[in-house]
C-alpha cells in the first residue's frame, strides 16, 4: 500500500476499533445499564464488524477468508433491528425487554445462523452475494423506514428548522448516520458509484467521532439512553444551582404566559424544555426539587387559573367549553384538576363569583 492507502486504511480501521470498544463499554458498564444501551451496543458492534470486514476485504480481497465475509454480512443483518429497537426503547422508555422483542430478535438471529450453517459462504458464495445480500439490505431498509416512523415528529421539526435539545440532535445524527451507511453500502452493492464501498467505513468513523463530540458537548449518557436512577444506575444527582433555577423558573413563567403553551392538550415535558432551552431531565428536576410539583400539576395550575379568569369574564361559554379552551382534553380531567387546585368544582366556583358580582 502507498501512503494514501495506508492513511485510508488507518482511519477506517480506527473507527471500527473504537466502535467495538464503545459497544463493549455499553455492555459492561453499570452507568449505562439499560435496554437502550443494550441495543445501542449491539448496533455499534454489528456496524463495527461490518466496517472492519469491508476495510480488510477492500485492501486484501484476493486472500480474504470466506468465513470472515460471512461474519461481516451476518453482522449487517443485525444493524437494522438494533437501530429500530434502540429508538423504540428510548422513545417509549422501556426498562425491560418485552417478550415480543425477544421473539423478533430470535427470528432474526436464527435466520442468519441457520442460513449460514446450511449454506455457508465457503461453498455457496453465489447464494450470499446474490440472494442473501438482497435479503439483508431489504431487511435493513425496512427497519430504517420503521425507525423513521418512530422519529417522524423529530424529523418534521428538523426540516421546519425548529430547535432541538442536544439529546434529540444526537438521535437524529445517529439515525441519519445509519441511513447514510445504508445508502453507501447499497450503492456499492449495485455498483452505481466506484469507490462507494470504502467510503462507508470512512463515513462511519466520521459519524462516530461527531457522536463522541455530542457527548462531550453536553448530551449526557443518561439522557441519550434514557437511563434513570430507579433502573439501577449509579448516577450522582446533580443539584441545580440556585441562580440557574431562578433563571429557568423566570423563563418558564415568561414562555407559558407569553405563548400560552399550557393551552396545548398534548404538551409534553420535552416541548416545554425545548422552549426554554434546557433538557427534559433538567426541567423535571427543576419542577420536582425546586418547585415541589410534577409536570402535570404545574401545567394544570396554569390551566385552572386561566379557567377561573374565563368563568369570571365570559358567561357565554359553558364550563365544559372553558375546560377545552384552557387545554384540558376532557370534561372529567378538567373537573378533577380544578377540584385539586381550587378545592371546589367549577360550578360552585362560578356560583361564588356570581354572588360576589351581585353584591
What's the pTM?
Answer: 0.60
Closest CA to 337 of 291, 310, 311, 298: 298
What pLDDT does 294 receive? 85
Residue 168 has what pLDDT? 76
Cell of 20: 467495538
Across the chain, where does the E strand assignment appear?
A: none
Report the pLDDT value the prediction gives residue 198, as an integer from 0 to 100.
60
Radius of gyration (Cα) for the chain, nearest Å? 27
User: Per CATH, the architecture of 242-358 is what?
Assistant: Orthogonal Bundle (1.10)
- HSE of 203 in the Cβ direction (CA atoms, 13 Å)? 21
What residue segments make up the domains of the chain, in order of their start? Answer: 3-230, 242-358
What does the longest C-alpha to C-alpha distance in the chain come to? Answer: 98
Q: Which residue positions in the chain have pLDDT lower than 70?
A: 1-2, 4-5, 8, 11-12, 30-32, 61-64, 163-166, 191-239, 241, 356-359
pLDDT of residue 230: 41
Q: How many CA atoms does the CB half-sphere of 202 hold within 13 Å?
A: 11
Q: What is the pLDDT of residues 212-232, one digit of tens each?
A: 555 544 445 555 555 544 433
Please give the C-alpha separations between residue 92 and each of 86, 158, 225, 229, 339, in angstroms, as whole numbers.
10, 20, 11, 17, 31
- The pLDDT, as a whole number, for residue 207 is 63
Q: Which fold has domain 3-230?
A: Rhopdopsin 7-helix transmembrane proteins (1.20.1070)
In this chain, the answer to whether the domains covering 3-230 and 242-358 adopt an identical fold is: no
| Cβ(127)–Cβ(119) below 8 Å | yes
pLDDT value of position 157: 81
Q: Are 77 and 139 in contact (CB under 8 A)?
A: yes
Amino acid at each position: 500500500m502507498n501512503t494514501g492507502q495506508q492513511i485510508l486504511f488507518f482511519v477506517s480501521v480506527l473507527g471500527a476499533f473504537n466502535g467495538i470498544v464503545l459497544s463493549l463499554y455499553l455492555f459492561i458498564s453499570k452507568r449505562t445499564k439499560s435496554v437502550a444501551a443494550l441495543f445501542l451496543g449491539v448496533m455499534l458492534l454489528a456496524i463495527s464488524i461490518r466496517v472492519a470486514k469491508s476495510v480488510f476485504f477492500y485492501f486484501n480481497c484476493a486472500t480474504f477468508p470466506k468465513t470472515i465475509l460471512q461474519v461481516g454480512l451476518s453482522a449487517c443483518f443485525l444493524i437494522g433491528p438494533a437501530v429500530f429497537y434502540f429508538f423504540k426503547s428510548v422513545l417509549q422508555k422501556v426498562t425491560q425487554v418485552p417478550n415480543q422483542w425477544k421473539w423478533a430478535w430470535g427470528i432474526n438471529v436464527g435466520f442468519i445462523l441457520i442460513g449460514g450453517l446450511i449454506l455457508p459462504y465457503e461453498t455457496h458464495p453465489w447464494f450470499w452475494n446474490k440472494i442473501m445480500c438482497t435479503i439483508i439490505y431489504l431487511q435493513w431498509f425496512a427497519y430504517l423506514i420503521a425507525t423513521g416512523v418512530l422519529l417522524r415528529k423529530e424529523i418534521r421539526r428538523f426540516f421546519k428548522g425548529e430547535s432541538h435539545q442536544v439529546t434529540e440532535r444526537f438521535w437524529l445524527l445517529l439515525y441519519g448516520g445509519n441511513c447514510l451507511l445504508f445508502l453507501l453500502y447499497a450503492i456499492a452493492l449495485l455498483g452505481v458509484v466506484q469507490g462507494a464501498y470504502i467510503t462507508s467505513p470512512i463515513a462511519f468513523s466520521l459519524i462516530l467521532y461527531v457522536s463522541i463530540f455530542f457527548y462531550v458537548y453536553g448530551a449526557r449518557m443518561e439522557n441519550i439512553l434514557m437511563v434513570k436512577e430507579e433502573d439501577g444506575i449509579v448516577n450522582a444527582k446533580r443539584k441545580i444551582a440556585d441562580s440557574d433555577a431562578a433563571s429557568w423558573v423566570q423563563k418558564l413563567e415568561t414562555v407559558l404566559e407569553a405563548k400560552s403553551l399550557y393551552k396545548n392538550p398534548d404538551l409534553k415535558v420535552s416541548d416545554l424544555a425545548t422552549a426554554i432551552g434546557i433538557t427534559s431531565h433538567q426541567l423535571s428536576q427543576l419542577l420536582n426539587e425546586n418547585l415541589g410539583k410534577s409536570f402535570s400539576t404545574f401545567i394544570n395550575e396554569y390551566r385552572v387559573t386561566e379557567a377561573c379568569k374565563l368563568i369570571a369574564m365570559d358567561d357565554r361559554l359553558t364550563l365544559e367549553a372553558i375546560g377545552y379552551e384552557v387545554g384540558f382534553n376532557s370534561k372529567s380531567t378538567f373537573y378533577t384538576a380544578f377540584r385539586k387546585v381550587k378545592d371546589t368544582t367549577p360550578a360552585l366556583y362560578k356560583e361564588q363569583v356570581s354572588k360576589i358580582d351581585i353584591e
